[in-house]
């Protein structure tokens, strides 16, 4: 299944689960209505000789409308409050579970091991490196959370770092990256907010139950107890029972979402790392470890569908289990598993640094020849070859520069360094901008970063997207105001020569997309006319870049690529590219602003069209690769690094 098919399926699952949610809400509304009618009947029966006509009240449309409206208002308010609390995306989920941000400059071995694994996975996937949160739990568990790739975070428990080897930790992180790439996170975090509303009735019932108990204890007479505290106690008990409809409905919805996605993430992790024993080893240790994968934090219930392992322990009913049985998951990746778990005590620790190094080296096999899959097929589907390529790219980044990228100032300095001009007069203007905005320490760091970059503009561009991906994690620490200020200074750097190159525009667009990711929280479908206009603009620019960036490419090849891409739109795109000379950046900007609202199906059409134009001569130039990856990144379609030994590059 392709990246876009995963996105489409995730949206389809959302619609299906909405039906189950509506049925649960309808059941709660009816139950609350009849409960209130019954209690009103008994509360007024002894005050009227005729009593209360319970059946007439129960089926009175006006009374039902009132009780239903109030109940829906309570459920909706509960959901909206939780959704508002989660507006911070993945970071909000991690902190709600007691997590704290992992310092990127940590010298602790187990933290450095975790950072190294996450960076490799991110670069191989073509995504920005996500912030990492450490959860203070001794069990083995992890999760990925966020509304989009831009605000995704990875959370791991202390137990993962203490108990798992590097290969096992890599299997767990690869599993979580699968959730990031397959579109699971968005649905998972929305479920937390929406399902909170189903629990509100139970919370009200618990409150009334406690109030009734206090009323009975504090009452001075038996009659007062019966009329006051006793009635509240009974109503609270009834609402608490009704609330369990929401609890069970929520668990059923989460189970429907989670179980098959866990199998898919396991399979993707094995495909990504080509090391099934790493993932299987982590699952086996959960089965034998004294703490297992159980999360003790009170917030574990609402986030149970997001965890790598079952965070709630064994479910008394498999229908409500958020995760498949542990032995079933292991058998799917390790058919030799005999069903026996080695027991590990709380004192067990993963192998030390020397053993880890030996294990890591022994597992790094020589990469196979890369299969000639399309650029589109590689989106969201990184391979072991991409993981190997990521290691090569990371190894080629100077050590001092790599370490500097782990700090906020270092990340800012690196991005500005990529935009630094080689022309002396322009460089002088950029220096003046720095002296107006930054202190001396930052200027020194900026100068040191410039010296660390590979010489020559071409070499620098080759590392630009990798440096951007590494810089996104510390830049996530910027406040909204600071993000705006940083984007402004990058724009000033670009305009220091009174012009914008394609490279400068694409770099700024990617940074802007990652830092201002609110637009990624919602998406729909563009109107056909607006979509076709945006597609025509990008195809025209791509055709122009493809012709100019490859001197050997014949004009006929470029035209053939455009015509083939046009046929994918049922020839509703104009038969010839528009003239783009001098206004390429304006066309790209207008198209990308429009396409932020596009559906996965529309994004797939755009990406496939650009690929057909770029590969019209079966070769991808560096300029074409940068254009393709940057456009895809701004559309939330992560492209893994281009394979060096592919004949296409």
For 88-97, write each residue's pLDDT tens digit: 889 999 999 9
Model confidence band, residue 297 (pLDDT cutoffs 50, 70, 90): very high
Q: Under DSSP, is residue 93 helix (H, G, I), strand (E, B) or coil?
A: helix
d(CA 453, CA 418): 8
Strand partners, 133: 101, 155
Secondary element (H or E) of residue 232: helix 230-273
For the sheet with 100-101, list strands across it. Answer: 100-101, 132-135, 153-157, 142-145
Specify the range with the lowest mean pLDDT, choosing from 22-26, 493-497, 639-643.
639-643
Q: Are 411 and 467 in contact (CB under 8 A)?
A: no
Q: Under DSSP, is residue 137 helix (H, G, I), strand (E, B) or coil?
A: coil
Model confidence band, residue 237 (pLDDT cutoffs 50, 70, 90): confident
Spans of all domains in the chain: 3-91+188-245, 397-505, 522-634
Given its phi and psi angles, is residue 136 left (phi above 0), alpha (psi -120 to 50 degrees) or beta?
A: beta
Whether 45 has a pLDDT exceeding 70, the answer reads no
d(CA 296, CA 415): 41
DSSP state string for 57-76 = HHT-HHHHHHHHHHHHHHHH
Model confidence band, residue 20 (pLDDT cutoffs 50, 70, 90): confident
Q: Are 130 and 154 in contact (CB under 8 A)?
A: yes
Looking at per-residue pLDDT, the higher value among 376 and 23 belongs to: 23
Query: pLDDT of 438-471, one tens digit each?
Result: 678 888 888 888 888 776 544 455 577 788 889 9
Q: What is the pLDDT of residue 134?
A: 96
pTM: 0.83
Distance of CA 648 to the CA centre of its chain: 30
Q: Are 254 and 245 in contact (CB under 8 A)?
A: no
Structure tokens at 569: 């739109």
Q: Are 642 and 649 in contact (CB under 8 A)?
A: yes
Which residue's structure tokens are 């400068």? Answer: 504
- Of 242-251, 321-330, 350-359, highest mean pLDDT: 321-330
Specify the range with the lowest mean pLDDT, choosing from 9-23, 54-68, 359-373.
359-373
Percent of the chain clearing pLDDT 70 (strictly above):
82
d(CA 17, CA 425): 60
Contacts of 239 (CB under 8 A, 6+ apart): 32, 35, 201, 202, 204, 205, 208
Q: What is the largest CA-CA distance in the chain?
A: 100
Average pLDDT over residues 303-332: 81
- Of 204-218, 270-284, 606-620, highest mean pLDDT: 270-284
Looking at per-residue pLDDT, the higher value among 546 and 89 belongs to: 89
Distance of CA 621 to the CA centre of its chain: 30
Query: Over the chain, what is the mean pLDDT?
Result: 80
Whether 223 has a pLDDT exceeding 60, the answer reads no
Whether 398 has a pLDDT exceeding 80, the answer reads yes
Q: What is the pLDDT of residue 601?
A: 82
Q: What is the pLDDT of residue 508?
A: 87
Whether 236 has a pLDDT exceeding 60, the answer reads yes
Spell out the alpha helix ranges (H) of 274-314.
Answer: 276-288
Structure tokens at 587: 């066309």
Structure tokens at 575: 């038969």
Whether 359 has a pLDDT exceeding 50, the answer reads no
Beta strand ranges found along 89-219 (DSSP E): 100-101, 132-135, 142-145, 153-157
Whether 13 has a pLDDT exceeding 80, the answer reads no
Model confidence band, residue 4 (pLDDT cutoffs 50, 70, 90): low
The string over 218-241, giving b where at least 16 C-beta atoms fall within 10 Å of a residue's C-beta and e elsewhere, is ebeeeeebeebbbbbbbbbebbbe
Whether 594 has a pLDDT exceeding 50, the answer reads yes
d(CA 145, CA 152): 5
Contacts of 589 (CB under 8 A, 6+ apart): 505, 509
Cα–Cα separations (whole angstroms), residue 8 to 15, 187, 372, 600 = 11, 12, 25, 6
d(CA 510, CA 418): 13
Which residue's structure tokens are 């898919």? Answer: 264
Whether 268 has a pLDDT exceeding 70, the answer reads yes
Whether 225 has a pLDDT exceeding 70, the answer reads no
Q: What is the pLDDT of residue 647?
A: 43
Which residue's structure tokens are 């590494």? Answer: 470
Burial class (CB in 10 A: 0-12, 13-18, 19+), 338: exposed
Average pLDDT over residues 387-412: 88
φ, ψ of residue 54 to 5 degrees: the values are -60, -40
d(CA 558, CA 617): 8
Average pLDDT over residues 561-581: 79
- CA 384-390-394 angle, to 5 degrees, is 155
Query: pLDDT of 102-119, one tens digit each?
Result: 998 888 999 999 999 999
Query: pLDDT of 501-537, one tens digit each?
Result: 888 888 888 888 888 765 444 555 678 888 888 888 8
Q: What is the pLDDT of residue 217?
A: 59
- Any catalytic annotation for residue 176? yes
Q: What is the pLDDT of residue 370?
A: 39
d(CA 494, CA 508): 9
Looking at per-residue pLDDT, the higher value among 471 and 247 belongs to: 471
Specify the range with the lowest mean pLDDT, choosing from 349-358, 377-386, 592-601.
349-358
Q: Are 390 and 123 in contact (CB under 8 A)?
A: yes
Looking at residue 97, the DSSP 8-state letter turns out to be T
Average pLDDT over residues 597-604: 82
Cα–Cα separations (whole angstroms), residue 253 to 86, 156, 184, 347 = 19, 24, 14, 37
d(CA 86, CA 150): 15
Catalytic residue from among 119, 137, 176, 611: 176
d(CA 447, CA 460): 15
d(CA 525, CA 604): 12
Model confidence band, residue 295 (pLDDT cutoffs 50, 70, 90): very high
Cα–Cα separations (whole angstroms), residue 187 to 60, 134, 284 = 38, 23, 28
Specify the range with the lowest mean pLDDT, choosing from 7-16, 566-575, 589-598.
7-16
């Amino acid at each position: 299944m392709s990246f876009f098919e995963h996105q489409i399926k995730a949206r389809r699952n959302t619609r299906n689960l909405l039906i189950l949610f509506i049925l649960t809400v309808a059941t709660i509304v009816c139950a609350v209505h009849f409960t209130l009618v019954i209690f009103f009947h008994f509360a007024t029966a002894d005050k009227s000789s005729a009593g209360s006509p319970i059946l007439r009240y129960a089926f009175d449309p006006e009374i039902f409308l009132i009780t239903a409206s109030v109940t829906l208002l309570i459920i909706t308010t509960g959901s909206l409050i939780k959704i508002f609390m989660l507006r911070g995306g993945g970071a909000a989920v991690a902190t709600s579970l007691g997590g704290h941000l992992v310092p990127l400059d940590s010298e602790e071995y187990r933290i450095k091991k975790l950072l190294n694994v996450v960076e490799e996975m991110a670069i191989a996937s073509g995504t920005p490196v996500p912030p990492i949160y450490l959860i203070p739990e001794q069990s083995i568990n992890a999760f990925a959370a966020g509304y989009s790739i831009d605000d995704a975070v990875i959370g791991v428990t202390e137990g993962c770092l203490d108990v798992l080897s590097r290969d096992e930790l890599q299997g767990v992180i690869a599993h979580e990256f699968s959730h990031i790439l397959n579109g699971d996170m968005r649905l998972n975090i929305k479920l937390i907010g929406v399902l909170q509303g189903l629990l509100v009735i139970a919370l009200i019932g618990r409150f009334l139950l406690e109030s009734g108990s206090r009323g009975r204890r504090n009452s001075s007479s038996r009659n007062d107890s019966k009329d006051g505290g006793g009635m509240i106690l009974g109503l609270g008990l009834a609402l608490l029972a009704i609330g369990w409809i929401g609890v069970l409905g929520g668990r059923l919805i989460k189970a429907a979402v989670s179980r098959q996605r866990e199998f898919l993430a396991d399979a993707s992790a094995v495909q990504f790392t080509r090391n099934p024993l790493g993932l299987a080893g982590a699952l086996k240790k959960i089965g034998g470890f004294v703490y297992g994968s159980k999360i003790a934090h009170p917030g574990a219930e609402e986030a149970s569908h997001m965890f790598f392992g079952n965070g709630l322990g064994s479910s008394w009913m498999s229908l409500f289990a958020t995760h498949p049985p542990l032995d079933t998951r292991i058998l799917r990746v390790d058919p030799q598993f005999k069903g026996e778990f080695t027991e590990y005590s709380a004192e067990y620790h993963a192998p030390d640094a020397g053993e880890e190094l030996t294990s890591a080296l022994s597992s790094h096999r020589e990469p196979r020849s890369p299969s000639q899959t399309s650029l589109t097929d590689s989106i969201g589907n990184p391979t072991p070859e991409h993981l190997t390529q990521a290691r090569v790219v990371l190894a080629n980044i100077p050590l001092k520069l790599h370490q500097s990228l782990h700090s906020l100032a270092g990340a800012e300095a690196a991005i500005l360094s990529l935009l630094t001009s080689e022309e002396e007069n322009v460089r002088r203007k950029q220096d003046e901008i720095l002296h107006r905005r930054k202190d001396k320490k930052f200027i020194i760091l900026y100068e040191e970063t410039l010296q660390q970059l590979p010489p020559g503009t071409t070499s620098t561009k080759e590392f630009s997207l990798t440096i951007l991906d590494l810089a996104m994690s510390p830049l996530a620490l910027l406040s909204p105001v600071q993000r705006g200020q940083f984007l402004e200074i990058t724009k000033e750097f670009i305009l220091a020569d009174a012009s914008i190159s394609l490279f400068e525009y694409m770099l700024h667009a990617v940074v802007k997309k990652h830092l201002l990711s609110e637009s990624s929280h919602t998406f729909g479908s563009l109107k056909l006319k607006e979509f076709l206009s945006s597609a025509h603009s990008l195809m025209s620019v791509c055709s122009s870049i493809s012709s100019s960036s490859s001197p050997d490419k014949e004009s006929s090849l470029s035209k053939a690529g455009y015509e083939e891409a046009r046929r994918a739109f049922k020839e509703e795109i104009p038969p010839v590219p528009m003239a783009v000379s001098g206004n390429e950046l304006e066309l790209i900007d207008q198209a990308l602003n429009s396409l932020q609202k596009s559906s996965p199906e529309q994004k797939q059409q755009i990406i496939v069209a650009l690929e057909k134009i770029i590969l019209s001569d079966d070769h991808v130039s560096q300029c074409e690769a940068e254009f393709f990856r940057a456009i895809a990144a701004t559309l939330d379609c992560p492209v893994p690094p281009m394979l060096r030994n592919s004949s296409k590059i």
